[in-house]
């Protein structure tokens, strides 16, 4: 868990996912809490309005309990007195002995005769008429939205029944939606102006945050694509890191990348020039000393001490010449990989071809060279660099193998890398020298093998070239002793 949190804290994508989750979860939590609070507020407000409806019924009760023919006129006048600009009152009567109909006795605001049918229809559509019988049995809470006969939207809040000798009276109270109380009850919480404004501002913050994260991510992707083109194509061309970035704050970083690329190109040229200059500078004096040995040999005669000294000098000059050529090879190989044009190369195919070629060359030594592994193993490299790696590994393995021994080359393709393993049946390497064998000018090749194959490959340059080439390709090389006998060198290269 700690490792996962550590990776999230370091990853831009991980932080964006956490931020996106927070942007989704936090408003939901807040909305639910505010909606619950608004529901409680609406319930409290509706309760107060219903209490006002019952109070209106209590005010009308003495009037409706009077006997005589003037009760209807008195009730209509009382309704007009109770009604205000905010509160609308309707008085309905179901006469005693008739349970099939209610009659509209009074209303404030008044309803024109021509609008009675429309009012009845609206009350019927909203279900109020069907609940009148139920209301005569007891008061029930209401919050019914309907359009009255005047065309104004209203919110029915209570139906209060009152039983008298004349029958069942029902006092209906409602509020106009234009009023504060009515609009607050009829309007959903999500339609409140302050809620909508908060949603707009929150969405704007989310969009700006997403734009910042996505913009940074796109610029990093552009950096990666350009760096890949430089690595695979050998040069940046006319496009620069500063040109592919769209975020002003990243332009200084892009400028540093451009200067780094320029420095690497200059370093590659300097390494090539230095390798050539050093080789030419040493070549002349070495050649002059080699040529001067022959006259000295003729004048030495049969003096054994002089002959031995000349032999030591000749051997030292040959070694010096090999070291100069090896250093040149090492520097040129590194310079070539700095801005080489990488491509997808099948390492399995190339290993098989190189193994076959070395088998033909070293058949007199009775050494078998076997290539095995997967059929296809694509790596991002140059064919020349892979040939250099295989050539030096095979030469090293053959140089330590006894006659009749076997050198095995294994190539396996994994998810994100390709592994190359070269094994021999030689004496191996002391455990304290497993890292040292990759250093320049280090060699512990047997003397008899050096004499069989004299030249420039036996002075500790080959494995140094291998390590530098592998590291320039983004890979890793290591050596280990085989338990029975021999040495195993394993190389991991990025898959194409």
pLDDT of 151 reads 57
Domain boundary among 292, 322, 339: 339
For residue range 23-57, what is the model confidence (pLDDT) as tens digits?
A: 888 888 888 888 888 788 777 777 777 777 778 77
pLDDT of 369 reads 93
Higher pLDDT, 32 or 147: 32
Residue 244: exposure state from Cβ atoms within 10 A (0-12, 13-18, ≥19)? middle
What whole-number distance in Å separates Cα of residue 403 and Cα of residue 366? 6
Give the mean pLDDT of 232-246: 71
pLDDT of 453 reads 44
Higher pLDDT, 335 or 357: 357
Same domain (yes/no): 382, 262: no
Structure tokens at 208: 């700006």
Name the phi and psi angles at 340, rounded to 5: -75, 155
Structure tokens at 171: 């006092």
Instruction: Say which residue the tokens 């409290």 belong to.
Output: 44
Q: How many domains does the chain have?
A: 3
Domain boundary among 171, 189, 207: 189
For residue 320, the enclosing domain spans 192-339
Of 326, 334, 401, give the one whose Cα is nearest residue 366.
401
Neighbours of 38 (CB within 10 A): 17
**Residues whose CB falls within 8 Å of the CB of residue 391, separated by 6 or more in sequence, listed in order:** 354
Same domain (yes/no): 101, 173: yes
Tell me how far CA of residue 69 lies from CA of 64, 75, 105, in angstroms: 11, 11, 13
pLDDT of 488 reads 94
> Do residues 162 and 182 make contact, with C-beta atoms less than 8 angstroms apart?
no
Helical axes 12-64 vs 193-233, angle rounded to 10°? 170
For residue range 165-213, what is the model confidence (pLDDT) as tens digits?
A: 888 888 888 877 665 454 555 566 677 777 888 888 888 888 888 888 8
Same domain (yes/no): 415, 478: yes
Same domain (yes/no): 169, 276: no
Tell me how far CA of residue 34 lies from CA of 40, 189, 195, 275, 314, in angstroms: 10, 8, 10, 76, 95
What whole-number distance in Å separates Cα of residue 481 and Cα of residue 456? 26
Give the mean pLDDT of 387-395: 91
28 falls within a domain = no
6 falls within a domain = no
Same domain (yes/no): 443, 478: yes
List the CATH number of the domain containing 461.
Answer: 3.30.565.10
Element (H, E) at 309: helix 304-338
Grade residue 450 by pLDDT with cuts at 50, 70 and 90.
Answer: very low
The CA dihedral of 200, 202, 207, 213, to the nearest 10 degrees, is 170
What whole-number distance in Å separates Cα of residue 36 and Cα of residue 406? 80
Instruction: Say which residue the tokens 């990989």 belong to.
Output: 337
Least confident of 6-15, 431-440, 470-479: 6-15
Element (H, E) at 22: helix 12-64
Highest mean pLDDT among 85-89, 116-120, 167-171: 167-171
Element (H, E) at 208: helix 193-233
Q: Is the pTM of this model over 0.75?
A: no
380 falls within a domain = yes
Residue 491 pLDDT > 90: yes
User: Is 495 strand, coil or helix?
Assistant: strand
Domain boundary among 339, 363, 396: 339
Same domain (yes/no): 149, 238: no
Structure tokens at 116: 């009675």
Mean pLDDT of the chain: 78
Least confident of 80-89, 384-393, 438-447, 475-484: 438-447
Residue 13 pLDDT > 50: yes
For residue range 400-433, what is the model confidence (pLDDT) as tens digits?
A: 888 888 999 999 998 889 999 999 998 888 888 8
What whole-number distance in Å separates Cα of residue 396 and Cα of residue 392? 6
pLDDT of 140 reads 53
4 falls within a domain = no
Residue 16 pLDDT > 80: no
Give the mean pLDDT of 431-436: 86
Instruction: Say which residue the tokens 């909606």 belong to.
Output: 35
Q: Residue 443 has what DSSP assignment?
A: -
What whole-number distance in Å separates Cα of residue 375 and Cα of residue 417? 15
Per cent of the chain over pLDDT 70 is 79
17 falls within a domain = no
Same domain (yes/no): 329, 366: no
Tell me how far CA of residue 363 lies from CA of 322, 360, 405, 424, in angstroms: 26, 5, 11, 16
Same domain (yes/no): 327, 453: no
Structure tokens at 378: 């694509």
pLDDT of 348 reads 93
25 falls within a domain = no
Buried/exposed code over 154-170 (b: 16+ C-beta within 10 A; e: otherwise): bbbbbbbbbebebbbbb
Residue 451 pLDDT > 50: no
What is the total residue count of the chain?
496
User: Is 240 strand, coil or helix?
Assistant: coil
Of 135, 171, 136, give the one whose Cα is nearest residue 60.
171
Give the mean pLDDT of 288-316: 78
29 falls within a domain = no
- Cis link prior to 109 (omega < 30° from 0)? yes
pLDDT of 356 reads 92
Give the mean pLDDT of 338-350: 82
Tell me how far CA of residue 389 lies from CA of 231, 336, 347, 351, 469, in angstroms: 19, 14, 11, 10, 7
24 falls within a domain = no
């Amino acid at each position: 868990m700690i490792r996962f949190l550590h990776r999230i804290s370091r990853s831009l994508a991980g932080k964006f996912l956490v931020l996106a989750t927070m942007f989704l979860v936090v408003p939901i939590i807040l909305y639910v809490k505010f909606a619950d609070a608004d529901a409680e507020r609406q319930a409290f407000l509706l309760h107060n309005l219903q209490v006002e409806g019952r109070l209106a019924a209590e005010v009308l009760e003495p009037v409706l309990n009077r006997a005589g023919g003037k009760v209807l006129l008195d009730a209509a006048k009382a309704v007009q007195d109770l009604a205000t600009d905010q509160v609308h009152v309707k008085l309905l009567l179901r006469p005693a002995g008739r349970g099939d109909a209610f009659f509209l006795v009074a209303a404030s605001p008044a309803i024109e005769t021509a609008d009675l049918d429309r009012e009845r229809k609206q009350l019927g559509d909203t279900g109020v008429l069907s609940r009148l019988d139920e209301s005569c049995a007891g008061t029930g809470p209401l919050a019914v939205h309907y359009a009255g006969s005047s065309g104004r939207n209203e919110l029915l809040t209570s139906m209060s029944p009152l039983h008298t000798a004349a029958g069942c009276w029902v006092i209906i109270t409602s509020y106009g939606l234009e009023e504060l109380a009515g609009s607050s009850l009829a309007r959903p919480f999500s339609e409140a102006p302050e809620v909508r404004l908060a949603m707009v501002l929150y969405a704007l913050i989310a969009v700006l945050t997403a734009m910042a994260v996505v913009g940074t991510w796109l610029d990093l992707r552009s950096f990666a694509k350009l760096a890949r083109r430089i690595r695979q194509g050998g040069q940046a061309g006319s496009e620069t890191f500063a040109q592919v970035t769209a975020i002003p704050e990243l332009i200084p970083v892009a400028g540093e990348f451009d200067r780094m690329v320029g420095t690497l190109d200059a370093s590659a040229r300097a390494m090539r020039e230095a390798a050539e200059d050093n080789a030419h500078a040493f070549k002349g004096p070495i050649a002059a000393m080699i040529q001067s040995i022959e006259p000295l040999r003729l004048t030495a005669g049969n003096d054994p001490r002089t002959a031995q000294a000349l032999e030591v000098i000749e051997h030292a000059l040959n070694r010096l010449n090999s070291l100069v050529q090896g250093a040149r090879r090492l520097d040129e190989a590194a310079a070539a990989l700095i801005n080489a044009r990488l491509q997808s190369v099948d390492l399995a195919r190339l290993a098989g071809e190189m193994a076959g070629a070395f088998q033909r060359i070293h058949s007199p030594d009775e050494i078998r060279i076997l290539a095995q592994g997967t059929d296809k193993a694509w790596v991002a490299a140059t064919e020349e660099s892979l040939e250099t790696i295989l050539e030096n590994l095979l030469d090293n393995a053959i140089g330590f193998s006894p006659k009749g021994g076997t050198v095995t080359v294994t190539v396996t393709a994994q998810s994100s890398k390709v592994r190359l393993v070269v094994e021999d049946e030689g004496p191996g390497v002391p455990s304290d020298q497993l890292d040292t064998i990759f250093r320049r000018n280090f060699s512990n090749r047997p003397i008899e093998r050096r004499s069989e194959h004299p030249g420039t490959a036996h002075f500790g340059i080959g494995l140094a070239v291998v390590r530098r080439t592998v590291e320039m390709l983004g890979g890793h090389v290591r050596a280990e002793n085989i338990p029975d006998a021999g040495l195993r060198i394993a190389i991991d290269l990025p898959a194409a």
